[in-house]
Structure 1
């Protein structure tokens, strides 16, 4: 069983907050703005098709997880969310954490995506920020003010994938680093306990 010192984990988590900070020092790849926009457009189409399918929530969440698996850099998101503690895990433990986080994120943000039932989403232009691209979008929900969603896209994994969302100013990756860091601290650094918590959360 891997037990991570909670004080060092907490410092690492708080020190990494900042959305794209993990990617800022990485070399740029061949990804361009058109490819970043294409990824976001394809992801949005899949999300809206899933939301508007009429399926019950129990079937929506696995569908959202499949979308995340295809379109998101889950490996990088998991490492960023866990912070320096990720380097102390063996391959099997990290794979288990990655899988648990994938389901957790899919359920958590799948609930938010369900608000997009009948929505129209406009995709804006892409802007390069150091080693990744940001793509703006606006969701027009029925009876609500428009919702701004910013997508951070990188090809660090070898393919164009998004690794962060900023929804109305709330940074998903920074929020998950804080939340997962707090969960790990409550478990006194017990990663297996953290994985069990993630499997139930969201």
Structure 2
């Protein structure tokens, strides 16, 4: 005599709940909910500029301000892409652990460097003025107003290349962060005969 085990009673509510939970998990694995478009790029830079303005208005010391900018860069900048692009062809031949250590050191270096630059903006503010679709990325324009100085332009280039909506370049007075760092990091690497580990160690004292 065979005794069959009754199947559990899955009512419509349970099935619906499972369907919703599966959908939420799929969204989390897939990446950002909001696809990058002109509106999303503008909103991202609006939040970024809001945090920068709050930092420069806070009256904190340069050391603390640089620490704050390091957190801002971690939240809004595609540091991985910026760091790899700055390293150039050497990034393709680097060992994974070596590259990971370099990117971590680069994050601190770039935050200190631009933290000092943004420290010059104390007493001023950055205002977003518009956004242009550049095809592969969006460029969000802003103007920086400083006390006792003429306003100048700043723009943030935003993409979703890494699976997140982040900025990968800042143009300040016509000078690209990405282009500048390619030259700077390239020269530093050449001076160390292509040794990425030595460059990584030395980045801790630069910026």
After superposing the two structures, state which structure 1 stretch, 53-62 or 101-110, moved more: 53-62
Task: List structure 1 runs of 4+ shifted beyond 4 angstroms.
Answer: none
Q: What corresponds to 2:100 in structure 1?
A: 95
- Please give the per-residue CA displacement for 1:26-71, whole angstroms capped at 9, x wherever unaligned: xxx9310111111111111111111221221221111111100000
Q: 1:201 aligns with which of 183, 202, 206?
A: 206
The correspondence of residues 11-160 of structure 1 with structure 2, limited to 5 A, is 30-160=35-165
The Cα of 1:158 is off from its aligned counterpart by 1.8
Q: 2 CA distance for matches of 1:107 and 1:192?
A: 20
The two structures, once aligned, show a CA RMSD in angstroms of 1.3
Q: Which has the higher contact order (CA 8 A, sep 6+)?
A: 1
TM-score with structure 2 setting the length: 0.81
Q: 2:169 aligns with which of 164, 168, 185?
A: 164
TM-score with structure 1 setting the length: 0.83
Q: 2 CA distance for matches of 1:142 and 1:186?
A: 39
How many residues matched?
174
Q: Name which one, 1 or 2, has greater alpha-carbon Rg.
A: 2
The Cα of 1:132 is off from its aligned counterpart by 0.5
After superposing the two structures, state which structure 1 stretch, 45-54 or 180-189, moved more: 45-54
Q: 2 CA distance for matches of 1:56 and 1:91?
A: 36
